[in-house]
C-alpha cells in the first residue's frame, strides 16, 4: 500500500535525540525547546514562539490568551479540522462558521463580513492544504472591526503570501500574520516533531500568557497559582527532532514541490477531475495533493477511495464541514446552516499520497491508477460526448 505520507528523518534527528538521552534531558527541560522556538519564530518572521504538545493545544492556548467572554464569537471556516471549533468552545466562546472558496478551499472572504456581529472578537483564517488565505482583505476587515486574527498555519509551513498587493508588496511567510498564529508538527506535516505544536506572536504579553497556560500557570513561586493552566509542554526530545527537521526544511519543501508538479503534469488531461488551483499572490508548500471529483464522475469521494485502496493506493478524505458534524448538531450548534461549497468538498474531495519520500515511479503509478478509476466511472465517456456534440 502506498501511504499518504511518511516522515523523512535523515538529518540530525538521531544525533540530537542522542544528546537528550546522554544528557538526561528528556522532559521539557534542556536546551532544544528554546532553540526550536527561536529558530521557528525566526523562520516565520515572528518575535515569540511557544512550543506546545500539539497543534490542537496551540489553538486552544491562542484563543484562550485573548481572554474572550462567554457569548463572544469567533468566525472560523467550516471546512477545517475540528480543533478550530474546539478551541473556541473550550474558551467559552461561540464559533460562527463561514463557507469556503471553491478553488482555494480557504474561508470565503466575501462571506466573512456578513458573519460579523457586535459580539465578534476574532477571525480564524486557516491556510487549507498549504494554500494561503487572502490575508490583505482579511486583515483589513479585522482592523475595521477592531477584532483579533488567530492564524491557523498548521498546514502552511513555508507557504508565502504576497501582502500589500498594489502598494508596498512583500512576500511573507504564513504564520507571521495577525495577533497570534499556530503551527502543528504532527508526523504528516511538512516538518514534524512526532506530536507537537507552537503558538507564535509578536506580543510579549500574549507569549507570556501562553507560556504560563502551557505550564500549569506556575508562578515564580512554584506550586502557587493564580490561573487555571494545562500541561501542554513539548519535550526536549520532540524539540530536538524539530531542530533537526528545520535544518532540512528547504529540502523537504523542494521534495513536496516535485511531487506536486509531477502530479499536475500526469493528471492534467484526466477528464472530470479538478486539480489544485493557486492564486498569483500565493506560493504554496504543496503539503497535500488534493483532487475534487467533478459531477460527471459516478463515484463520491469515499467510493473513489475504496477503488484506489483496492488497487494499493491509500488516500485521505477531505474535512467534513464543522456545520455537519454530529457532535455540534446534537448540541444545537449550526442548526439550519447550509454551506454548499464545504458540503461539496466533503463529498467530492480526496487527498492523494503526497509524502516527501514518494518516488517519480510511485507517483506515475498512483496517477495511472487515478486515471483508470476515473475513466471507468465517467457518466459520459469523452468519446460519447464528442459524438453527442459533434
Ligand X SMILES: *Cc1c(COP(=O)(O)O)cnc(C)c1O
* Cβ proximity to ligand X, 193 vs 367, nearer residue: 193
Judged by CB, which is closer to ligand X: 155, or 369? 155
Contact 126, 104 (CB under 8 A): no
Give CA separation, 72 vs 4, 115, 125, 183, in Å. 38, 13, 17, 24
- One of 189, 256, 265, 278 is an active-site residue; which one? 189
Q: Least distance (Å) from ligand X to the CB of residue 262?
A: 23
Residues in contact with ligand X, counted by CB under 6 A, come to a total of: 14
What are the cell numbers at 307?
Answer: 477503488
Q: Is 155 in the site for ligand X (CB under 6 A)?
A: yes
Judged by CB under 6 A, the stretch of 28-36, 92-100, 148-156, 346-354 that binds ligand X is 148-156
CB of 234 to ligand X, least distance (A): 11
> Helix (H, G, I), strand (E, B), or coil: what is residue 75?
strand
Under the binding rule (CB under 6 A), the answer on residue 236 touching ligand X is: no
Q: Which of 37, 64, 108, 152 binds ligand X (CB under 6 A)?
A: 152
Tell me if 108 contacts ligand X by CB under 6 A.
no
Residue 83 within binding range of ligand X, rule CB under 6 A:
yes
Q: Pick from 106, 122, 154, 210 the residue near ligand X by CB under 6 A.
A: 154
How far is it, in rounded angstroms, from Cα 80 to Cα 156? 13
d(CA 218, CA 222): 6
- C-beta of 155: minimal distance to ligand X in Å? 4
Tell me if residue 189 is catalytic.
yes
Spatial strand order in the sheet of 160-163: 170-173, 160-163, 282-283
List % helix, strand, coil for the chain (3-state, nearest 5).
40, 20, 40
Position 81 contacts ligand X (CB under 6 A): yes
Residue 7 is a binding residue for ligand X (CB under 6 A): no
Q: Which of 63, 116, 124, 126 binds ligand X (CB under 6 A)?
A: 126
Residue given cell 500574549 in the structure block? 206
Stretch that binds ligand X, among 40-48, 61-69, 80-88, 331-339 (CB under 6 A): 80-88
Long-range contacts of 18-21 (CB under 8 A, 24+ apart): 19/240, 20/236, 20/237, 20/240
Q: How far is CA 84 from CA 79, 80, 189, 322, in A?
A: 10, 7, 17, 9
Active-site residue list: 189
Binding-site ranges for ligand X (CB under 6 A) = 54-56, 59, 80-81, 83, 126, 152, 154-155, 184, 186, 197
Amino acid at each position: 500500500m502506498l501511504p499518504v505520507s511518511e516522515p523523512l528523518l535523515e538529518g540530525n534527528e538521531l544525533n540530537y535525540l542522542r544528546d537528550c538521552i546522554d544528557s538526561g534531558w528528556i522532559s521539557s527541560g534542556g536546551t532544544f525547546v528554546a532553540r526550536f522556538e527561536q529558530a521557528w519564530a525566526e523562520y516565520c518572521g515572528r518575535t515569540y514562539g511557544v512550543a506546545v504538545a500539539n497543534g490542537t493545544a496551540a489553538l486552544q492556548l491562542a484563543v484562550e490568551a485573548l481572554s474572550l467572554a462567554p457569548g463572544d464569537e469567533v468566525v472560523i471556516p467550516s471546512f477545517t479540522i475540528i480543533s478550530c471549533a474546539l478551541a473556541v468552545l473550550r474558551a467559552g466562546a461561540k464559533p460562527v462558521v463561514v463557507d469556503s472558496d471553491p478553488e482555494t478551499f480557504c474561508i470565503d472572504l466575501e462571506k466573512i463580513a456578513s458573519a460579523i456581529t457586535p459580539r465578534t472578537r476574532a477571525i480564524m483564517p486557516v491556510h487549507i492544504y498549504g494554500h494561503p488565505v487572502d490575508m490583505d482583505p482579511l486583515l483589513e476587515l479585522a482592523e475595521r472591526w477592531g477584532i483579533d486574527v488567530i492564524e491557523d498555519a498548521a498546514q502552511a509551513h513555508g507557504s508565502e503570501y504576497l501582502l500589500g498587493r498594489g502598494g508596498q508588496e512583500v512576500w511573507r511567510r504564513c504564520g507571521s500574520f495577525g495577533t497570534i498564529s499556530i503551527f502543528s508538527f504532527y508526523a504528516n506535516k511538512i516538518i514534524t516533531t512526532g506530536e507537537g505544536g507552537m503558538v507564535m506572536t509578536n506580543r510579549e504579553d500574549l507569549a507570556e500568557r501562553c507560556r504560563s497556560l502551557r505550564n500549569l500557570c506556575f508562578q515564580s513561586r512554584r506550586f502557587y497559582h493564580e490561573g487555571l493552566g494545562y500541561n501542554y509542554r513539548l519535550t526536549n526530545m520532540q524539540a530536538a527532532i524539530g531542530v533537526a527537521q528545520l535544518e532540512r526544511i528547504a529540502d523537504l519543501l523542494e521534495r513536496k514541490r516535485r511531487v506536486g508538479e509531477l502530479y499536475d503534469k500526469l493528471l492534467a488531461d484526466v477528464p472530470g477531475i479538478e486539480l489544485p488551483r493557486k492564486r498569483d499572490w500565493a506560493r504554496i508548500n504543496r503539503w497535500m495533493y488534493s483532487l475534487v471529483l467533478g459531477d460527471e464522475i459516478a463515484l463520491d469521494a469515499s467510493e473513489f477511495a475504496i477503488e484506489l485502496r483496492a488497487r494499493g493506493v491509500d488516500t485521505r478524505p477531505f474535512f467534513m464541514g464543522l456545520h455537519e458534524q454530529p457532535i455540534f448538531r446534537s448540541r444545537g450548534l449550526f442548526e439550519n446552516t447550509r454551506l454548499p461549497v464545504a458540503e461539496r468538498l466533503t463529498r467530492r474531495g480526496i487527498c492523494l499520497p503526497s509524502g516527501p519520500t514518494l518516488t517519480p515511479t510511485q507517483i506515475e503509478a498512483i496517477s495511472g491508477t487515478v486515471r483508470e478509476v476515473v475513466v471507468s466511472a465517467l457518466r459520459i465517456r469523452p468519446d460519447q460526448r464528442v459524438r453527442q456534440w459533434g
